[in-house]
Structure 1
Amino acid sequence: MSLMKSLLAGAALTGLTAGAALADPALIYDLGGKFDKSFNEAAYMGAARWVEETGGTYRELEMQSEAQREQALRRLAESGSNPIVMTGFAFGDVLTQVAGDYPDTKFAIIDMVVEAPNVQSVVFTEEQGSYLAGIMAGMASESGTVGFIGGMDIPLIHKFECGFAQGFKSVQPEGSVLINYTGTTPAAWNDPVRGGELTRAQISQGADVIYAAAGGTGIGILQTAADEGILSIGVDSNQNALHPGQVLTSMVKRVDNAVYEAFVAGADLEPGIRVMDLAAAGVDVAVDESNADLVTAEMQAAVDEAKAGIASGEIAVHDYMTDNACPAS
């Protein structure tokens, strides 16, 4: 069912009495769109898997503006949706205000911690997955210069940047990482033209592998990299197949698992902080038929060794958000 329609018919939804109808979960996508081939689409895939396995139905909403956040959460809670899952740190402040007004509704927020007795906060160790991508970039780069292009310039995306730089420097300690961000507003997540411009600028400075951590903007980054004959690295969803043989890997962030498992838990969703790290398969680098020819045996061995080192604690990947600093800068 489209939530855009159900929100418009909020009064009718509130009047429903059938328990099954009132227990439908809900998913709210952040700015950038449901089919952004990245973060939001990963969330959608988790919901789609739940539908396929259970035959259930859920409500969904694509955010069109910042002003919709509180209204969407309140309408969903009042209509009986449970649990309500939202993608993105930007829901944090609104959820903090809203959660207490609906104590019988469970909420799950991805990429932000909200402390409330009816909220599950799902966070990922993006720095660990990005470290693996950095190793691969370091081994694939012939110029010794790679690039990172982030979406909105916020601490969360600096986690990706810093992990990537650490992994790259572990292979090429004298190499260079070029860094750009698309912007400082939510529009930065959906500007593929600007992403392409930044990609060309980094290529002109010698980058031959570029990591895109920019939501829908990343589509322009990966396309331009392919057009210019260099390698790219995708993010969140597995983007290898967008340009087979030209996307070195994708740093996969299992947002799909977070949404799927929240929907499965339903009203029994466990509150608190849930950390989806490398050991819990929350993050990884994707290798499949689209990039298999790019991943050498030596590269795969280095990734496997790093995974074991991170899991054992032998390799400590710095989390930018602990001190807003990066040792690899």
Structure 2
Amino acid sequence: MHSLTRIWTPILLTLLPTLALAATKPAVVYSVADKYDHSVNQQVYEEGVVRYRKETGIQVTERAPAGAAERLNTLRQLAGDGYSPIVLVGGEQVIALQTIADEFPKTQFTLLDGQLDKPNVRSILFKVQEGAFLTGALAAAESETGIIGFVGGLDLPGIHQYGCGFEQGAKYANPAIEVKQSYAASTPALAFADPVKGSFLAKEQFAEGVDIIFAAARGTGLGVYQAAADEGLRAIGSDTNQNGLYPGTMLTSMFKSMGQAAYTAWEEAEVGTWTPGVLKLGLLDNHVGWALDANNQGLISQGLRDKLETLRVDIVTGKLKIHDYTQTQHCDYITPTIGAICPPAGKAGSGTLCKS
């Protein structure tokens, strides 16, 4: 027996990683809109699915249901076929997941951008108000008209979280700034996949004097960026780095690392360390922020970058606390600090004063 143990032990140790890999059947259910949406779906695909396949050799099964009924059936089929962990992109999947998580208590589900308290669900939430605060400060500093805008896909607390953070940052940087807000639709299918509506809302705001718009509307936001390019004005992307869509038009993008979150869920399930619960990720974890790359580095002065970095550090260290709309269902503004970005003499429409 001892000799057999000596023979098999190294063989079993060699096989253990393979056995662990074989035990997982990872899957992803995308949000509404196309997988190649230049937004959250595409980020999860490129930075999660593709990366995981390259690094582990394991194929992630992908599904993109068209609506609520199809989403429920898709989840039930995946769980019934033994897929786990299953990553779900978008808070609109909560309703379907609530039913399926109970039906398949042994299946591991990771919900990105939504929360569901179940013993087999991990909810990943992002402190988007922190990243939006920085983009708001940046927009206020760069605005020439003193009027900036926000276009949200859906009139829901999770989208107001972006708009509220953006407005807080803008008014913290320049209390005289005006911020206009618009929302595309009341249902997810229309809210996040309608670039024509995004373009319409952007043009309305531009006609009212807005010169920079921050969009948190996924596919609908593409219409906002196109309208900004057509008008020779500027826009700010969201959720993933969209700077390359319209170089020179895109001032920056507020990113959140949903692809990394998906990858981590599959990786932890593979090695047996996946756990349920609620996880909130923000600036401290470098899971949200604003994007600076070759497409926009010429648009933002070093002086302004330094001021934004100071704000980032103040948020990370707790010196500056950004209000989260989802906690109160209304937007509480922090006390503005004149001179945080714009000099004390700054006023609405004094963009050039704020860029030094």
TM-score (normalizing by structure 1) = 0.92
Conserved 8 A contact 1:135-1:302? no
Q: Does 1:255 align with 2:246?
A: no
CA distance in 2, matches of 1:63, 1:95: 13
1:76 to 50, 53, 78: 78
Q: Who is 1:290 aligned against? A: 295
Correspondence for 1:300: 305
Q: Segments of 4+ in structure 1 off by > 4 A?
A: 18-22
Q: Answer yes or no: is 1:217 the counterpart of 2:220.
A: yes
Kept in 2, the 8 Å contact 1:22–1:81? The answer is no
Q: Structure 2 unaligned segments of length 5 or more: list them.
A: 1-18, 335-356
**Which digits, 9 at most, give the CA deviation of each residue in 1:38-77, with x for residues without a partner?**
1211111211111121121011111211111221111101
Paired amino acid for 1:251 = M
Residue of structure 1 in register with 2:247 after alignment: 244
Q: Hey, what's the Cα distance between the residues in 2 that align with 1:148 and 1:235?
A: 11
1:208 matched to 2:214? The reply is: no
Work out whether residues 99 and 116 of structure 1, in 8 Å CA contact, stay in contact via their aligned partners in 2: yes
Q: Is the 2:40–2:258 Cα contact (8 Å) retained in structure 1?
A: yes
For 1:24, the equivalent position in structure 2 comes to 25
Shift of 1:328: 4.0
Contact 1:241 1:290 in 2 (8 A): yes
2 CA distance for matches of 1:306 and 1:19? 44
> Deviation of residue 23 (structure 1)?
2.6
Q: Is the 8 A contact 2:117 2:277 kept in 1?
A: yes
RMSD: 1.6
- SS of the residue corresponding to residue 190 of structure 1 reads coil
Structure 1 stretches lacking a partner, 5+ long: 1-17
Q: Which amino acid aligns with 2:25?
A: D
Give 1:312 deviation, angstroms: 1.0
Structure 2 counterpart of 1:88:
90
Partner of 1:43: 44
Matched, 1:232 2:235: yes
Tell me, yes or no, if the aligned pair for 1:151 and 1:188 is still in contact at 8 Å: yes
Q: Secondary structure at 1:314's aligned position in 2? A: coil
Residue from 106, 114, 117 that aligns with 1:115: 117
Counterpart residue identity of residue 23, structure 1: T
- Percent identity between the two aligned chains: 38
1:188-203 to structure 2, matched below 5 A, reads 188-203=191-206
Look up the equivalent residue of 1:317 and give its one-letter code. Answer: I
**Conserved? CA contact 1:163–1:319, under 8 Å:** yes
CA distance in 2, matches of 1:51, 1:97: 29
CA distance, structure 2, for counterparts of residue 281 and residue 113 of structure 1: 21
Report the residue type matching 2:183 in the other structure: Y
Deviations along 1:234-269, whole A, 9 cap, x unmatched? 011100000112100000011111111111112532
C-alpha contact 2:323 2:333 (8 A) present in aligned 1: no
For 1:219 and 1:52, the matched residues in 2 are separated by: 29
**Who wins on radius of gyration, i.e. which is larger?**
2
Secondary structure of the 1:67 match is helix
8 A contact 1:147–1:209 mirrored in 2 = yes
> Structure 1 counterpart of 2:26, which letter?
P
Distance 1:245 1:88 in 2: 30
Does the Cα contact within 8 Å between 1:158 and 1:320 map onto a contact in 2?
yes
Contact 2:68 2:96 in 1 (8 A): no
Provide the C-alpha distance between the structure 2 equivalents of 1:318 and 1:169, rounded to a whole number of angstroms: 13
- Between 44-53 and 190-199, report the one with greater CA deviation: 44-53
Per-residue Cα deviation, 1:147-176 (whole angstroms, up to 9, x for no partner): 000001111000000000000011110110
Query: Which residue does the alignment assign to 2:164?
Result: 162
Q: Which residue number in structure 1 is paired with residue 177 of structure 2?
A: 175
CA contact (8 A) 1:166 1:328 kept: yes
Which secondary structure does the structure 1 equivalent of 2:180 belong to?
strand
Number of residue equivalences: 312
| Map of 1:62 onto structure 2 | 64
Q: How does 1:310-321 map to 2 (within 5 A)?
A: 310-321=315-326
